[in-house]
Amino acid sequence: MNAPTLSPLHGRLALCRPGFERECLQELEQAARDAGLAGYARARESGGHAEFILHDGSDAGALTVATRWDALIFARQVLDLIARLEGLDPVDRIGPLLAALNERGERFGDLVIEHTDSDAGRELAGLARSLTPPLRVALQRARLLDAAAPRHLHVLLLAGDSLLLAAAAPGAAAPDPGGIPRLRFPAGAPSRSTLKLEEALLVLLDERERERWLRAGMTAVDLGAAPGGWTFQLVRRSLRVIAVDNGPMDRALLDSGLVEHRREDGFRFRPARTVDWLVCDMVEQPRRIAALMAAWLGERRCRRALFNLKLPMKKRLVEVRLCLDLIRDAVPGIELRARQLYHDREEITVLALPHA
């Protein structure tokens, strides 16, 4: 077998939902351009990851800041690229990996082995698990692990014989491998959509915000609520919910005493009093949803909003930017946090926080 090839890389590695590599690339390119950094982006369709390679001499630190994982919409995770290793012998993947890292000399605080979310990537989950303990021991023996080191080492398996080496400071990367939070389907939830809202509240809010903004007795309107997966998340936090949908709501939710079901058009319904939350999962054109959210927020009918924008069209990033600008124009100073979550399909989730 030929010796493996090592190609040092200078740039960023982003993981995304397979099929959204183009949007991820466009965001990386735009962020680099805005930061005055020159390079090029590349990805394979449905590969579940994208790379932005900096031209020699460019400031990699500036790119790391410009493309933080939580500043990009379509990236689940973003890491600093170190190298690509190809042509690995399955009998000894660790030897060449250690040789490459030894040559660089950087020590790492911890090791994360991950894979993409593509069909091919998911088949590598077992290998990622089985490789972790021996690689960790080997790194320790080679004195390449040091709990005080600022960056963690990320190994992204691309195939049985190839991988990418990357790194990130723990606070500057998504906390879960692959940027995928492991959520268990809650007993009694009426639809799988419930995990979308659970993930959104986990990823788009920090702990302090969740404590302050999701308290018992607070009020919410859920537009397009049936059968009640999103309402379930609000009710389990003891919020009172007006669920607007012509479709039937889950019986147990209605029996909770916290839910009022209104069989009305979500585009026409308005609450009698300002509510703490507006959430919306109606399947509609994104611009119509954005205009509706802008109207509620502009008229102060809700203190904050969390909604999905469905993206069945071709120019998805263009459409997203149009929708976000529409809301920013209507509600000056508003903070928008937008992400394609793991549980989102052809859609993104947006949190809108008007500043009082």
For tokens 């949908």, name the residue: 245
Quick one: which of 46, 132, 162, 191 contacts ligand SAM (CB under 6 A)? 191
Question: In this structure, which amino acid lies at residue 29?
Answer: E
Quick one: which of 226, 239, 278, 338 contacts ligand SAM (CB under 6 A)? 226
| 183 lies in the binding site for ligand SAM (CB under 6 A) | no
| 193 lies in the binding site for ligand SAM (CB under 6 A) | yes
Tokens standing for residue 204? 């788009």
| 188 lies in the binding site for ligand SAM (CB under 6 A) | no
Query: What's the CA gap between 271 and 68, in Å, rounded?
Result: 38
CB of 22 to ligand SAM, least distance (A): 25
| 114 lies in the binding site for ligand SAM (CB under 6 A) | no
Binding-residue total with ligand SAM (CB under 6 A):
21
Quick one: which of 21, 245, 276, 319 contacts ligand SAM (CB under 6 A)? 245
Binding segment toward ligand SAM, per CB under 6 A, in 38-46, 140-148, 207-215, 276-284: 276-284
Question: Before 271, cis peptide (omega within 30)?
Answer: no
Binding segment toward ligand SAM, per CB under 6 A, in 21-29, 151-159, 190-198, 251-259: 190-198
Other beta carbons within 10 Å of 88:
22
Supply φ then ψ for residue 253, to 5 degrees.
Answer: -65, -45
> Is the separation of the CB atoms in 171 and 151 below 8 Å?
no
Tokens standing for residue 95? 């030897």
| 194 lies in the binding site for ligand SAM (CB under 6 A) | yes
Quick one: which of 179, 228, 286, 354 contacts ligand SAM (CB under 6 A)? 228
Question: In this structure, which amino acid lies at residue 171?
Answer: G
What is the secondary structure of 8-60 as a DSSP string? Answer: EEEEEEEE--TT-HHHHHHHHHHHHHHTT--EEEEE-TTSSEEEEEEPTT--H
Active site residue 315: no
- Give Cα 99 to chain centroid, integer Å: 33
CB of 190 to ligand SAM, least distance (A): 6
CB of 18 to ligand SAM, least distance (A): 21
Question: In this structure, which amino acid lies at residue 85?
Answer: L
CB nearer to ligand SAM: give 54 or 226.
Answer: 226
CB nearer to ligand SAM: give 178 or 227.
Answer: 227
Query: Where on the chain is the footprint of ligand SAM (CB under 6 A)?
Result: 190-191, 193-194, 224-230, 244-247, 265-267, 281-283
